[in-house]
Chains A and B, each alone.
Chain A
Amino acid sequence: MTISHLRAILWAQMRTLRNYPRMGAAWSTIIGVIWYGGWLAATIAVVRVMSDPDEIRSVAAALPGALSLVFLYWQVMPLLLAATGASLDIRKLQAYPIPVLELFAVEAMLRVTAGLEMFMLLLGGAAAVALNPALSKTGVAGFILYLAFNLFLAVGLREGMRRILAHQRIREIAFFVLVLSAALPQLLIARGGGRVAGMLHLLRNDFWSGWPWTAAANLALGRHALPAFAILAAWCALAALFGLWQFSASLNFDVEAAAARPARSAGRAGLLERLYHLPSLVFSDPLAALIEKEIRTLVRSPRFRLVFLMGFTFGVIILLPTTLTRNGYSLPFFRNNYLMIVSMYSLLLLGEVCFWNAFGFDRSAAQMYYLAPIPLARVLLGKNLTAVVFIILEVAAVTMACGLIGMPLSPHGLLEAFAVASVVTIYLMSAGNLTSVRQPRGVNPDSALRHSTAGRVQAVLLVIYPLAYIPAGLAYLARYAFNNEAALFAVLAFFALVGVVIYRIALDSAVQLAERQRERILAALSAGEGPIAA
């Protein structure tokens, strides 16, 4: 295998990044520094502990478990957040005579972007083994092979996921299978300690030394090094074969054919049409037409549909442990406010498709907004009202899902969830209108997975959303301080009023900015990517 293609691809990507720094890169960099800075600190701590010969015993006890967590984070988190990091733009590259193995090698390297945090930790582990005088230097191979294993496996899982999510007929079914498989451990935790302990025992070092994380730990620590090496190499080879198989299948996969819709039955089409016309009952044109167009566009976008589904399925399931302890005892706050908490989580997810980059999905329509005789403020209002429609639907779906799993529901809880979601939404939309015109970016609405990294998504959630949730936090604080439900609603009402003023100011600012920078915005929305979509 030559590396000339690989070098050419990387060269073109470097040129792309140099030629066209993204809008909003500064903000993105700050978030990146905060997030990855934290993980760098963790890596340094790992190196310090693991390189200390006196800590060998405790390291030996903890390492297999820690490596299994690395595995879960790297492989599962991107799937949970539907954000799998940078990847090759196969659509553009497959026209050229590039051998599959070379493309696969680049793609495997790009999987680092799906778990950069874990990549840092594993490299830290390898450095620590090299620095520890009590350990053999060959132990470094344990971390390196484990790294390769995770990279290859990540390629396979990503490509498999990508193809499933591109398929018009089976996308939603496959998604629900994924939700159910994610639900299984949560349900086991919720239902019984003994069985869970039994399940966890299967993953332990002393149960089976054939797990890749156990073999990696054994190799790193020099315990049964030869068999451990053989086991880990075998896992690595299997992962490579799996990754290559899935990647080759993706190269031959026809996205357009998979996404082709069968002709709709007249009855179903009629029902959908009636739903699309609902905004016309409340609003007059052109606002009603704008909202109707937004609803049609979003509903047809695989990315939006995935995120909307995730809000009331994954959201309900992954937060379940917050309501339970190991012995099944409920944590009162989480259990009593579960509906509100899941609604907030779904707002986090919907923000990406509804607020933060409002022009991203319909970039071809952005030009029309500038040409049509409609004030831009009306366009943004139309987009915001559409977001409100979907938030109401999402909270309603979350309510039903919570009811299905037996969470306590009451009219009061429902009112509270809607009130909190509404207030938070006002602030999110205010900020979203500004980011939509400050950092516009074209998004492929046909791609269900996005190219940002799961880590970056978490960083954004951790850094930005707490600010928007401050009013809700203060409302709950007021209820706690005054021990009175009315205090919660009074504070929410106050912040709703403040929010409306802020929304108005932010909307005006966004419109002025959009008018001043129309050329820049249209260029940013219509720009494509390099050979690597990042």
Chain B
Amino acid sequence: MDAFPAIEVRDLRKVYGDKAAVDGLSLTVPSGCFFGFLGPNGAGKTTTIKMLMGLAPPTAGTIRLLGLPMPERALEIKSQIGLVPDESLLFDHLTGGEFIEFVGRIYGLERLVARERAGELLQLFELDAARNKLITEYSKGMRKRVAMAAALIHRPKLFLMDEPFEGVDAVGARLMKEILLDQVRRGATIFLTSHVLEVVERLCDRVAIIHEGRLVLEDSMTQLRGASETLEEAFVRAVGVERTLETLDWL
């Protein structure tokens, strides 16, 4: 395992217009950790992960991934990262196999190696029946699976995943979870955002909760469990939203 943290951000800030989507976020993700990054809608999760992926430059603050500064060493960092980005970043008019092969070649694999691994990954993710279908014809869950398959092709050290289980059925989710846990056992670090708290509770070693751009909780799952709180209870407490259901007369 590496001596340096896999992710280290300090005072990260991202401003859109006059609103700070991320406001002074500082976070350390140890190497080999399965890290869950949670928050309510609009809290700044996707903005944070986009900054980590190099898709959006921060307004202020520093980012170090795998011990290297971003964006100064962006190429080195990117070559060691596996991304499961927002699904709009897939190339819709390629087949699943072609997309994975393309990503493999972009990461510097020989064409034949990329093609071979693409075939194997399609099998592993149970997508081989849809091998020749265009990604545009895939269901939401299949798109997530193909994105994750592509993220694995170059055996990255760090995975950045934005809602990887969104729209994935129970069988697919189980398969993906097993693959991810296996990656962590092999020393990889996983940083994922998710709304599915049960999944995070079962998989992650550590969690952080962001609300209105600020970090409101960071702890290990062991500590949280020790406090005899479920993740859902901790989440609701951290974001301070305990609403009573109002009724509408006309409804």
The chain B residue sitting closest to A526, CB to CB, is B136
A137 lies within 8 A of chain B by Cβ: no
Nearest-Cβ distance from residue A486 to partner chain B, whole angstroms = 56
B61 lies within 8 A of chain A by Cβ: no
A260 CA / B79 CA spacing, docked (Å)? 31
A4 contacts B18, C-beta separation under 8 Å? no
A8 contacts B102, C-beta separation under 8 Å? yes
A96 contacts B103, C-beta separation under 8 Å? yes
Chain B residues, CB < 8 A from A282: none
The chain A residue sitting closest to B134, CB to CB, is A19
- List B42-88 residues whose CB lies under 8 Å from chain A: 53-57, 59, 71, 74-79, 83, 85, 88
B18 contacts A263, C-beta separation under 8 Å? yes
B93 lies within 8 A of chain A by Cβ: yes
Given A8-B102, A19-B94, A523-B136, check contact A94 B55 (CB 8 Å). yes
B17 contacts A95, C-beta separation under 8 Å? no
Nearest-Cβ distance from residue B28 to partner chain A, whole angstroms = 23
A528 CA / B71 CA spacing, docked (Å)? 28
The one of A95, A97, A261 that contacts B85, using a Cβ cutoff of 8 Å: A95
Chain B residues, CB < 8 A from A16: 91, 93-94
A526 CA / B105 CA spacing, docked (Å)? 27
A5 lies within 8 A of chain B by Cβ: yes
A99 contacts B75, C-beta separation under 8 Å? yes
The chain A residue sitting closest to B19, CB to CB, is A260
B106 lies within 8 A of chain A by Cβ: yes
Given A19-B134, A95-B54, check contact A256 B16 (CB 8 Å). yes
B55 contacts A95, C-beta separation under 8 Å? yes
The chain A residue sitting closest to B79, CB to CB, is A97
- List A83-100 residues whose CB lies under 8 Å from chain B: 91-92, 94-99
A8 contacts B91, C-beta separation under 8 Å? no
A91 contacts B16, C-beta separation under 8 Å? no
Interface 0/1 of B100-121, CB less than 8 Å to A: 0011011110000000000000
The chain B residue sitting closest to A252, CB to CB, is B57
Chain A residues, CB < 8 A from B224: none
A5 contacts B106, C-beta separation under 8 Å? yes
A528 contacts B17, C-beta separation under 8 Å? no
A15 contacts B107, C-beta separation under 8 Å? no
B56 contacts A95, C-beta separation under 8 Å? no
Chain B residues, CB < 8 A from A207: none
A482 lies within 8 A of chain B by Cβ: no
B91 contacts A12, C-beta separation under 8 Å? yes
A531 CA / B102 CA spacing, docked (Å)? 10
Given A19-B94, A523-B136, A528-B92, check contact A95 B83 (CB 8 Å). yes
A254 lies within 8 A of chain B by Cβ: yes
Chain B residues, CB < 8 A from A263: 17-18
Interface of A is mostly: loop
A91 contacts B92, C-beta separation under 8 Å? no
A485 lies within 8 A of chain B by Cβ: no
Chain A residues, CB < 8 A from B78: 95-97
B18 contacts A262, C-beta separation under 8 Å? yes
A98 CA / B76 CA spacing, docked (Å)? 10
Chain A residues, CB < 8 A from B227: none
A530 contacts B89, C-beta separation under 8 Å? no
B197 lies within 8 A of chain A by Cβ: no
A92 CA / B53 CA spacing, docked (Å)? 11
Chain A residues, CB < 8 A from B95: 15, 19
B89 contacts A91, C-beta separation under 8 Å? yes
- List A79-122 residues whose CB lies under 8 Å from chain B: 91-92, 94-99
A4 CA / B18 CA spacing, docked (Å)? 42
A527 lies within 8 A of chain B by Cβ: yes
Chain A residues, CB < 8 A from B15: 257
Chain B residues, CB < 8 A from A12: 91, 94, 98, 102
The chain A residue sitting closest to B90, CB to CB, is A528
Chain B residues, CB < 8 A from A329: none
A16 CA / B93 CA spacing, docked (Å)? 5
A273 lies within 8 A of chain B by Cβ: no
Given A8-B105, A11-B102, A97-B106, check contact A527 B92 (CB 8 Å). yes
Chain A residues, CB < 8 A from B94: 12, 15-16, 19, 530
A11 CA / B97 CA spacing, docked (Å)? 13
Chain B residues, CB < 8 A from A15: 93-95, 98
A98 contacts B106, C-beta separation under 8 Å? yes
Contacts beyond the supplied A263-B17, A526-B136: 15 A-B pairs with Cβ under 8 Å = A8-B102, A12-B98, A20-B136, A95-B55, A97-B77, A97-B107, A98-B106, A254-B57, A257-B59, A260-B19, A523-B136, A529-B91, A529-B93, A530-B91, A530-B94
12 contacts between A and B (CB under 8 A): A9-B106, A11-B105, A20-B134, A95-B54, A95-B89, A98-B106, A256-B16, A257-B16, A260-B17, A263-B18, A528-B93, A529-B93
Closest 6 pairs (CB-CB, A-B): A260-B17, A260-B16, A97-B78, A8-B105, A528-B92, A20-B93
B residues at A contact (CB < 8 Å): 14-19, 53-57, 59, 71, 74-79, 83, 85, 88-95, 98, 102-103, 105-108, 134, 136
